[in-house]
A and B are shown apart, each in its own frame.
Chain A
Amino acid sequence: MATETTPIPVEETEVETTSPWNVVVHNDPVNLMSYVTMVFRRVFGYSTERAQKHMLEVHEQGRSVLWTGEREKAEHYVQQLHAHLLLATLERAGE
């Protein structure tokens, strides 16, 4: 006898809690490049080279994804970036 299998529906809330979140920094004309690089090093612990790469991406492309991971930690990073007066937002990865 053949057995029918019913797919288990994935609840939306589960998707929300497990899908990763991006920390995005947006360009602004005021913050100094050296300042932005310093903040990326401080907040994320990035090397100077990696911090400069993200800084240039923000400057040239208008935004850069600095970090991807769980929401709670992403919110913490955005808070740290706002404390340093950078324009930073949180978004679902893939949005």
Chain B
Amino acid sequence: MEFFVSGKSHIGFRHIHPLIADLLRALPATTDPDALSDAAEARLFPEPTNSESLQDLRDDWKAFVEPGLHELFRSASDIVSADLKGMEESGDTFTLTIPMNHADAWLNLLNQARLVLAADLGFNEKILTSPEPPDLGTDVGMAVFRINLYAFMQQCLIEQLE
């Protein structure tokens, strides 16, 4: 898979292996708010304070802030889903073109997916930085692979945005 820049208005990835294309198409389902585990929900929507005396802040946050975050995350998912539908098959691989003004939505959804995968499997820093190649025949290995794949894509986007 190769990152490319097309003028000032578009970026993208080409030479995407069919397996990788499937893992990209899985992004919206991975972050589906109706299918989140408790661990993933807690990570995507953390409490605003650790202080026990600020229960009023927690209550207000749940009532007034979290709905806006849900909307923001769902909007990112909708934008990415639309871009994924435009992924083009070229020979044995695929090409994904992303309008530059969708880059933030991609960054957000890629991050959501990485956090959900890590939360669901209780990953820590040691697992995520292991130099061993992941065993794609296991759920854990596939999750590590996906987290690293999405991180590579995030890094490409960040370098372009910065």
Pick the residue among A30, A38, A79, A84 that contacts B128 (CB under 8 A): A30
Stretch at the interface among B22-30, B79-87, B110-118: B110-118
Give Cα A53–Cα B162 distance, bound, in whole angstroms.
17
> SS class of chain B's interface: helix, strand, loop or mixed?
helix
Closest CB in chain B relative to A89 CB, distance in Å = 5
Give Cα A36–Cα B159 distance, bound, in whole angstroms.
13
* B48 at the binding interface (Cβ < 8 Å): yes
Contact indicator B46/A87 (Cβ below 8 Å)? yes
Supplied contacts A29-B118, A82-B45, 19 more A-B pairs, CB within 8 Å = A29-B128, A30-B115, A32-B155, A34-B155, A35-B158, A38-B161, A75-B57, A79-B65, A82-B48, A82-B69, A84-B108, A84-B111, A85-B44, A88-B46, A89-B46, A89-B49, A90-B51, A90-B54, A91-B49
The 4 residue pairs across chains A and B that have the minimum distance between CB atoms: A29-B125, A30-B118, A85-B111, A90-B49
Residues on B lying within 8 angstroms of A by beta carbon are: 43-51, 54, 57, 65, 68-69, 72, 107-108, 111-112, 114-115, 118, 123-125, 128, 147, 151, 154-155, 158-159, 161-162
Give Cα A95–Cα B72 distance, bound, in whole angstroms.
32
Give Cα A89–Cα B58 distance, bound, in whole angstroms.
11
CB-nearest residue of chain B to A82: B69
